[in-house]
Chain A
Amino acid sequence: MLVSVYRYNPETDREPYMQNVDVSLPEGKDLMVLDVLNLIKEKDQSLSYRRSCREGVCGSDGMNMNGKNGLACITPVSEVVKNGKLVVRPLPGLPVVRDLVVDMAIFYKQYQRVKPYLQNSSPASGRERLQSPEERAKLDGLYECILCACCSTSCPSFWWNPEKFVGPAGLLQAYRFLADSRDEATDERLSELDDPFSVFRCRGIMNCVSVCPKGLNPTKAIGHIRDMLLSRAT
């Protein structure tokens, strides 16, 4: 199989280029894209990419495969290969550090901006705070985010305004805490998001939904935040 992989080493390359590598795949086995990268790296150790859990829960190896963002470790080659060719690029819209490694600083900054931690100043009992299964169910589809950045880096609104628009990943987390029955900072959280950019730059394009490797729906969460902001304003 022909693999075309994005290469850039800031110390030796004046500009990035696509490198074509012929990889012989073992027969009768559908490898994941990460396995293919590992095969390439065994021959050419200079190829750099992030990886850790290799089972789709750590979020290290978000990248762009034949035009679509996803996690290399749970993307079977058969699912993305087109005409016998696999094209692997770094996540779009973020500065490239080297090869498939992007600088995620702005992504993390937007995550931290929403104060992604429970705020509750009531004294805690000697036991857990109670939460009904129904209240807890509201966190499903929100807390599972793995911060892989596949969503935010597929979002045109985030490409345009990465400093001002929180982006789908950050907003999913914002709603995860707004939706938590144990959190007491609803008002402050909404106030911090109440401007034309932070939330409202979302145009409902829904790239985030189509790429999320965990099947989460940031657009829906953003819709809920919009509703909360609008009903608060009236």
Chain B
Amino acid sequence: MTALRKLSFDAVVIGGGGAGMRASLQMAQSGFKTACLTKVFPTRSHTVSAQGGITCAIASADPNDDWRWHMYDTVKGSDYIGDQDAIEYMCSVGPEAVFELEHMGLPFSRFENGRIYQRPFGGQSKDFGHGGQAARTCAAADRTGHALLHTLFQNNVKHDTTFLNEWFAVDLVRNQDGVVVGVIAIEIETGEVVFVESKATVLATGGAGRIYASTTNAHINTGDGIGMALRAGYPMQDMEMWQFHPTGIYGAGTLVTEGCRGEGGYLINKDGERFMERYAPNAKDLAGRDVVARSMMTEILEGRGCGEQGDHVFLKLDHLGKDILHSRLPGITELSKTFAHVDPVSAPIPVVPTCHYMMGGLPTNIHGQAIMQVDGEDQVIPGLYACGEAACVSVHGANRLGGNSLLDLVVFGRAAGLFIEEQLQQGIEYRAASEDDVDRAMGRLNALDTNENGEDTATLKRELQNCMQNYFGVFRDGEFMKKGRDELTGLGERIANLSITDKSKAFNTARMEALELQNLFEVAESTAISADERTESRGAHSRRDFPVRDDATWLCHSLYDPTTKSLSKRGVNFTPKTVETFEPKERTY
């Protein structure tokens, strides 16, 4: 074994986005030796791109708002495979977590009375769907993610969190008892490989939207935590559930917030028709994202798309007027000019459904503890935690509501922090790792570094992204997905055989991109198998060959086992603690 430098922490959080920094903040402010290990400087994390806001029943826009209404919306939005205990926790604890952010300094927009501004978002209702559209999304203009991420970074600075900035996590270290004892990481600037040992390892590595060719996600969203967990043999839940955001800018993929429609914007086809009135007569443009994305694709496929190719639709905002656009949606105005060459004050923005969010992930309980199943029973994976997009608690089920991702990452980043704190106070110790354990975790990196004349990263990345885009997009079909799976099998062998021509140490981004591509492949493969094997349509998972939701067979989570590459089922929680169960019913908007 190569002698690696070892760093030791009470807790190491992998990922410096919203979830990771909320977790690290929690533990750092209680005085535990906490490291936040992140491959980019924290404020470069993808949370920064969140625009519209954080949905939470803080009862500002409507003094009578109730977290139970938010819970109802979220359960319905999830197409009933969101876990009701977790959704209950998120919606009820949410206000406390959001007020904490405000106390930390987050510059929320305000109403005249000085309270936090809230805007309408898709899938929101009052009175359990009976009271019309709610306005429940707390916003800092259309830069809420930026404001939130910077606020969390600032407060971590205040509380002396140890940041391992620009460190790349390669693989988890497990000991012979199956305990996760830390992670192998590369300090990018020097190329040094280090064993970061910890009593608790938190995966807060975010999403993996880069498995698709067209995505709103940052270049860095490569599912590193998912890859690491799958290689360690841990299961993934609901990986077929990928959200396609209705409004990615056509051609560029950059996000245009749902807040545009919340503020009164709407979608039109080539005839200028507000087509969502046909698909969702009540909520119209503020139906669930899966519903809106499918409606748009249907318009395009039936020949009512816009532009020369008829391959997109328009988002109309000009009727809102310059003042609203500049005060409420300044970032969108900027992005639209840059990437669509359109000023929304005078012309509509060309948009198309674009991969946006991974509802699936590493299954956890509400304390962030990672879960696996042994003989059909849930079992906690000792030492391993997850929160944010990398985790599947699951509060989003088969379709996430807009504004719920920021709430998820704050509430469950915080919850994981609180729980680990409690564990540390009770006195958990470092668990030993043998040389073999560390060597095993080094295997992938060593293979990449010693491989000569292997495959090229950039080429295979494009092939992988095209494969996923072609066969596992908004609409899916069994025959098609079989082809996709075949292609993936071939790609898998080649991606295992990557090599790099640049073997230097200092800031070697070629090495990192190769390791990232292997993570993307793990995500893609679990997505493909889960999508092919869930033989129904639910939420974001829409199959032409199985167009109907099948509660008798599939009112459950899917659980992908990487060791056998097969799918099993895991029960959905239908037993919230303080409210009655929301029973599954037909989902219409």
Contact = CB atoms under 8 A, between A and B. Distances in A.
B147 A60 contact: no
Contacts of B220: 52
Contacts of B43: 58-59, 146-147
Contact of B338 (A56, A112, A144, A147): A56
Contact of A97 (B48, B114, B116, B506): B506
Interface in B103-142: 103-105, 107-116, 140
B139 to A, nearest CB: 12
Interface string B264-297: 0000000000000000000000000000000000
Contacts, number: 149
Given A55-B335, A58-B43, A117-B157, A128 B58 contact: yes
B507 interface: yes
A44 to B, nearest CB: 9
Nearest to A128: B102
Contact of B339 (A55, A98, A177): A55
Contact of A143 (B114, B150, B218): B150
Interface in A37-85: 41-42, 45-46, 48-60, 74
A90 B146 CA distance: 25
Interface stretch (A4-12, A195-203, A224-232): A4-12
B451 interface: no
Contacts of B500: 45
B147 A41 contact: no
A116 interface: yes
Interface in A137-164: 139, 143-144, 146-147
A53 B49 contact: yes
A60 B99 contact: no
A49 B508 CA distance: 9
B99 A124 contact: yes
B146 A41 contact: no
Nearest to B158: A117
B501 A58 contact: no
Contacts of B60: 128
A41 to B, nearest CB: 7
A26 interface: no
B243 interface: no
Interface in B206-235: 218-220
Interface residues of A, number: 55
Interface in B135-181: 140, 143, 146-147, 150, 154-155, 157-158
A56 B48 CA distance: 10
A27 B339 CA distance: 17
B458 A45 contact: yes
B112 A133 contact: yes
Nearest to B251: A29
B575 interface: no
B189 interface: yes
B76 interface: no
Interface in A101-119: 101, 103-104, 108, 112, 115-118
Contacts of A51: 219
Contacts of B108: 128, 136
Nearest to B155: A117
A14 interface: no
B305 to A, nearest CB: 20
Contacts of B504: 9, 11-12, 46
B46 A52 contact: yes
B364 interface: no
Contacts of B505: 11
B105 A118 contact: yes
6 contacts: A41-B458, A51-B219, A116-B154, A120-B103, A133-B111, A136-B109
Interface of B: 40-41, 43-46, 48-49, 58, 60, 98-99, 102-105, 107-116, 140, 143, 146-147, 150, 154-155, 157-158, 189, 218-220, 254-255, 331, 334-335, 338-339, 457-458, 500-502, 504-510, 513
